[in-house]
Amino acid sequence: MKSYDLSKLTVLIVDRQPAMRALLCQILREFGVGHIVDFNAHCADEGFQEFNHVVPDLVLVDWCPEFDGLALVKRIRTSKESLFPQAPIIMVSAYGETQRVFQALDAGMTEYLVKPVSPSLLYTRIVNAIENARPFIRSKVYTGPCRRRHMLSFAGPERRRSGARANKPMPAAAPAPVATPVAAHEAAGEAAAQAEAA
């Protein structure tokens, strides 16, 4: 997996639990994220106001009995007031059931991470958001990143009424988060320097 320079990235954490916000902040600092905003929203409306105030490159949203993260994701994606509806959103939740993951997908989340959070899994989700930016879909029934992970080519005859245009994926509406790959030797040198300092 590539190493990225995340120093220009702005991440908004919306979580009700102070301990989880502190943990996520610490992990993101270790990744070198340049600007981290942790916010204790009591409702989706408060989270949405903070989202529009910060306009982050990436959002980590809690979903638990105390906070309706789905409502926040839907508001970010569908509200006409949303300043960056294409923002990558990682849902961080204690809910690991498949049904919950599909609910989050239908709401428009980009990635899903089940608690307890580990640095390697969080980094994997961030890298997926960067490297696998999917086209943004806006329709009457769904707004968010294309839910198809893999765009498969189809070599058969075209049967749709709209013709060949139907098979062309829409371009991504927004660039991936501001991050640049770090050469492997640079990352190894930084790790060695940190190990020597410790």
In the chain, domain spans: 3-148+169-197
Residue 35 in 3-state DSSP?
strand
pLDDT under 50 in the chain at which residues? 164-167, 170, 173, 176, 184-185, 187-188, 191-192, 195, 198
Phi-psi region of 108 (alpha: psi -120 to 50; beta: other; left: phi over 0): left
CATH architecture of 3-148+169-197: 3-Layer(aba) Sandwich (3.40)
Give me the pLDDT at residue 191, please. 47
Q: Cis check for the bond before 175: say yes or no (omega within 30 of 0).
A: no
Quick check: pTM over 0.85? no
pLDDT digits (tens, 9 = 90+) for 66-118: 889 999 999 999 999 999 999 999 999 999 999 999 999 999 999 999 999 99
Give me the pLDDT at residue 134, please. 84
